[in-house]
Amino acid sequence: MKKIFCLCLTATFLSLWNYSHAQKTSFVDVAGLNPQIKPGDNFFRFVNGRWTDTAKIANDQSGVGSYSFLNIPQKQLLQNILDSVSKTNNKMGSIEQKVGDFYASGMDMATINHRGYQPIKPILADIDAISNVPSLLKFVAAELKSGNRSIISFGVSPDNKNSRLNIAHVYQGGIGLPDKDYYFKTDSPTLHIQQAYHEYVRTLFELTGSSHAAATKDAATAYAMEKQIAGSHKSNIELRDVNANYHKVAVAAINTSEPNIAWVTLLAELGAITDSIDMAQPAYYDKLNTMLTSVSINDWKVYLKASVLENYAETLSKPFVDASFEFNKALTGQATQKPRKQIMTASVDNYLGQALGQLYVKRYFNEDAKKRVLILVNNLQKSFENRINHLDWMSDSTKLKAKEKLYTITKKIGYPDKWRDYNKVQINRTKYFENVLSLNQNDYQFQLAKLNKPVDRTEWATTPATVTAYYDPSQNDIVFPAGILQFPYFDFSADDAINYGGIGMVIGHEMTHAFDDQGAQFDKDGNVKNWWTKEDYQKFREKTAQLANLYSSFTVLDTVHIKGALTLGENTADNGGVAIAYDAFKMTRQGQGSEKIDGFTPNQRFFLSIARIWRVKTRDAFLRTYVNTNPHSPAMWRVNGPLMNFAPFYKAFNVEPGDKNYKPDDQRVKIW
C-alpha cells in the first residue's frame, strides 16, 4: 500500500454540478456572493453561502459542488467515450475493445441478474471444503490474488528505508466497517451504522439461500470476529506515524513467531519469493495468529463467506447491489442509487484506467495546458524556495536540505509518458463478474512482478482522467492528471488571480506535502531519513501541534469536531498551498498591479478563487463519516482555516478585531 498524500478531489460520491467546456468569460460568481456575511466572519460562506443555501443534492448523490464532486461532468465525458466504443466492433485486443466490452458487460443487467449469485458459488464451495488452518490460509491466498484481501492485506511498493527498491508489505485488515472505532463507539450515529452493517451481512447470507434465523446468527458470528480483529487495529491517527508503521522483518523469524500463519507457505502460495517483508502493523498479525486456532474452523468459514459476499456484492445481481447500497446509505445519507452508467464509468476507470485514459487524452486533453501548468509549477517552486529562505524558525543547514528536496521533486502533468500494458487481460462482453476477476488477477500479477525489483519512477498512482492531484513521498513527485486541468481549478482564458488561486493552490498544496508532518520525514530521494537538526525539527513539531489544536477547535456538526491529529498533514498542505500560491501570484504582472475586475482587486480575486474551488455541500451522514475517516478537513475549514492564519487575506478584505475568524498575529499558525 503506497503512502500517497492527495488533495482528495476524487470521490465515490459524485454530483450533478453543471459544467461546460465552452470558454468562460466570468470566473467570479459575483451574484452568488453574500454581502450580509462579513469576509472576516466566514469567508467560505461569504463566497459560497447563497449557492450552499439553494443547491440541491440529487437523491443519488451524497453531495454537490466542485471539490470531491467535480467528477460528474468529467464522468459524462468518459461516458461519451464509453457509449461510443461499446457500440462499435473494435479490433480484438485493442484498448477500445477491452474498454468497450468491459463497459458493455457491466451494463448488461439482464444477464447479470439472470446469473444471480451463480458466479460465486464455486468460491463458497471452496470455503465449505476448508477443514483446517492450512487449507483456510490456502483459500485466503487464492482469494487475495483475485482481489479479496480478507484477513491478509498484501502489497508491493517501495521500501521506506530504500526507496529505489520495491518490497513486500502487509497491513492490518479483516474488518468491514470504515475503521476500528466503529466497532466500539456507542453514540447514536455509530450504533445506527453498526445496525445497518448487521442487516447488510444478514441480507447477503439470505440472498445465498440461508434462512432468516441462520443468516442472523451467521452475521452475528462474522461481526463478533471482526470486532475481535478490530481490537488489534491501530486507529487512523496512529497510522499517520511513519516510523511506527514500518517493521521490516525476516520471513524466517515471523514464520517461527507466528506459526499458525505459516508465513513461508503463505508467501509461496502468493507467489511472493522474498526473505523479508515490511509488517506495518505487527499487533494485527499477532492477533490473527492467535485467532486462527482460538476460533473454530466453522466460525472462520462463516467469516470468510461474509468476506466473499461483501467483496463481490456489487458485481452480482441487483439484490446484492441493492443490499450494498442500503449499507452505504447509512454511511453517506445518499437516498437513491446512481444510474448504472455512472457506476460502470467509475468501474472502467478503476479497472482499466490507463486504457480509458488514453482515449480521454486523445479526445479531450489540450496539450498546451501541460505547458501552461508547468510554468505555474516552476513559479511556485521558486515561491516556496523564497519562503524557506525567509523562515525565522529554521537554521541555514536545514534550509539547504529543504531546498535540495524541493528542487528534486519530479513533476508529472497530464498523463504518463509510458502507458500501462493490458495485453494479458481478456475481456468477455457477456461476463462482467469474470472480467472483474480477470482484471483483479492481472493487477495482482502486475504488482507482484515488481517485488524486489527497482522502482519504476515513471509510474502513476492515479488515472489521467481523474480529477485529483497527489504527492508521493517515496518517489518525491507531484502529479497533476489531465482531469484536474479544468475550471474551477484551471482555465486558459482566466486571469492569473483565478488560476493561481485555483490550480496554483493545488500545486502549492502538493508541494507542501513534501514538508508536512509525514512528508518531512522523507529525504529528497524518498527514504525515511532525518535531514533536520534536532532543534529545527522540535520547532517544526511545536508548530504542527499548534495547527492540530486549531483545527480540533472547529465544530462541524453539533458536537462533532475536526480531528486535528488526523487531518494535520492535509491542513499543513492547505496552509502552505495558500501562502506559496499567493507569493507566486505576486510574481505575475496582475499580482503586482491593482486593476479591478468585476469590482475586485487582484488580491481579492485570488482569495475568491480559493474559496470557489472548495464550493461543496454534503449530507450530514456523509460528513460524519468523512470527519471520522478522512485525513482532509471538510470544505468550509479548508478555506477558513488557512485564511485566518494568512496576513495578506486580512489586508485584502479588511478583516478586523471583532470579526469571528480574526486572530491576533501572535495566534496565527505559520509553518511554511
* pLDDT > 70? residue 339: yes
Q: Is there a contact between 81 and 345 (Cβ–Cβ < 8 Å)?
A: no
**pLDDT of 13 above 50:** no
How many CB atoms are closer than 10 A to CB 544?
21
Put simply, whether the predicted model's pTM sits higher than 0.85 gets the answer yes
Range of weakest confidence among 398-402, 487-491, 530-534: 487-491
Q: Which pLDDT belongs to residue 65? A: 84
Q: How confident is the model at residue 67 (pLDDT cuts 50, 70, 90)?
A: low
- Whether the Cβ atoms of residue 62 and residue 387 lie closer than 8 Å to each other: no
d(CA 537, CA 576): 17
Residue 671 has pLDDT above 50, yes or no: yes
365: left (phi over 0), alpha (psi -120 to 50) or beta: beta
What is the three-class DSSP state of 165?
strand
- Using CA atoms of 452, 454, 455, 456 in order, give the dihedral in degrees to the nearest 10: -130
Residue 162: partners with Cβ closer than 8 Å, 6 or more residues away: 527
612, 66 Cβ separation under 8 angstroms = yes
**Grid cell for residue 380:** 511556485
- The secondary structure of 458-474 as a DSSP string is T--SS-TTSS--EEETT
Mean pLDDT computed over 553-559: 93
The pair phi, psi for residue 63, each rounded to 5°, is -165, 170
Separation of alpha carbons 119 and 417, rounded Å: 38
619-667 pLDDT, tens digit each: 999 999 999 999 999 999 999 999 999 999 999 999 999 999 999 999 9
Q: Which residues have CB under 8 Å from 658's CB, separation 6+?
A: none
- pLDDT, mean of residues 608-613: 96
Mean predicted confidence (pLDDT) in 88-93: 90
Among candidates 202, 301, 279, which has minimal Cα distance to 234? 279
Check: CB of residue 272 under 8 Å from CB of residue 448: yes
Percent of the chain with pLDDT over 70: 95
Task: For residues 14 and 17, give the distance between their C-alpha atoms in angstroms, rounded to a whole number.
Answer: 9
Q: Which of 648, 587, 672 is nearest to 388 (CA)?
A: 672
Lowest mean pLDDT among 3-17, 204-218, 333-347: 3-17
Taking 70 as the threshold, does the pLDDT of residue 6 lie above it?
Answer: no
| Mean of pLDDT values over 113-141 | 98
In three-state secondary structure terms, 24 is coil
Residue 644 · residue 94 · CB < 8 Å: no
Give the pLDDT band (50/70/90) at residue 16. Answer: very low
The rounded distance, in Å, linking the Cα atoms of 365 and 359 is: 10
Q: Where are the strands (E) in 13-152, listed by range?
A: 63-65
Q: Do the beta carbons of residue 624 and residue 330 sit within 8 Å? A: no
| 567 C-beta neighbours (distance < 10 Å), count | 27
Find residue 477's DSSP bridge partners: 410, 472
With beta carbons less than 8 A apart as the criterion, state whether 373 and 480 touch.
yes
Q: Is the peptide bond before 488 cis (omega within 30 degrees of 0)?
A: yes
Confidence of residue 22 (pLDDT cuts 50, 70, 90): very low
With H, G, I as helix, E, B as strand and everything else as coil, classify residue 479.
strand
Neighbours of 187 (CB within 10 A): 10
Cα–Cα distance between 605 and 25 in angstroms, integer? 15
Classified as helix, coil or strand, 38 is coil
CA distance 5 to 455: 19
375-423 tens-digit pLDDT: 999 999 999 999 999 999 999 999 999 999 999 999 999 999 999 999 9
- Helix (H) or strand (E) run with residue 379 in it: helix 367-389
Reported confidence tier of residue 24, pLDDT bands at 50, 70, 90: low
Name the packing angle between helices 340-351 and 71-85 (round to 10°): 80
What would the mean pLDDT of 225-234 be, rounded to a whole number? Answer: 98
Domains recognised in the chain with CATH numbers: 43-116+316-364+421-454 (no CATH), 117-315 (1.10.1380.10)
Which amino acid type is present at position 50?
A: R
Torsion, Cα 19 20 21 26, to 10 degrees, reads -90
Element of type H or E holding 215: helix 212-230
* Dihedral angle computed from the Cα positions of residues 526, 485, 359 and 478, in that order, rounded to the nearest 10 degrees: 0
pLDDT number for residue 73: 73
* Secondary structure, 3-state, 398-458: HHHHHHHHHCCCEEEEECCCCCCCCCCCCCCCCCHHHHHHHHHHHHHHHHHCCCCCECCCC
pLDDT tens, residue by residue, 267-318: 999 999 999 999 999 999 999 999 999 999 999 999 999 999 999 999 999 9
pLDDT at 409: 97
The answer, yes or no, to whether residue 49 has pLDDT greater than 60, is yes
Task: Decide if pLDDT at 3 tops 70.
Answer: no
The answer to whether the CB of 474 falls within 8 A of the CB of 160 is yes
Tell me, rounded to whole angstroms, the distance of Cα 248 from its chain centroid: 25
How, if at all, do strands 162-171 and 276-279 pair?
parallel
Q: Which three cell numbers stand for residue 143?
A: 482469494
Residues 6+ positions from 599 with CB-CB distance below 8 Å: 30
DSSP string, 245-295: G--EEEHHHHHHHSTTT-HHHHHHHHT---SEEEES-HHHHHHHHHHHHHS
- In this prediction, residue 626 carries a pLDDT of 94
Q: How confident is the model at residue 75 (pLDDT cuts 50, 70, 90)?
A: confident
Q: How far apart are CA 381 and CA 396, in angstroms?
A: 18
Q: Which helix (H) or strand (E) holds 158?
A: strand 153-159
For the ranges 63-67, 106-110, 594-598, the lowest mean pLDDT is seen at 63-67
Angstrom CA distances, 489 to 365, 492, 514, 570, stand at 15, 11, 21, 18
- Residue type at 614? W
Coil, helix or strand at residue 348: helix
pLDDT greater than 50 at residue 10: no
- Is the confidence at residue 19, as pLDDT, over 60? no
pLDDT, tens digit, 9 for 90 and up, residues 447-480: 999 999 999 999 999 999 988 999 999 999 999 9
166-191 pLDDT, tens digit per residue, is 999 999 999 999 999 999 999 999 99
Instruction: Give the up-direction half-sphere exposure of residue 150: CA atoms within 13 A in the CB hemisphere.
Output: 27
Distance of CA 146 to the CA centre of its chain: 22
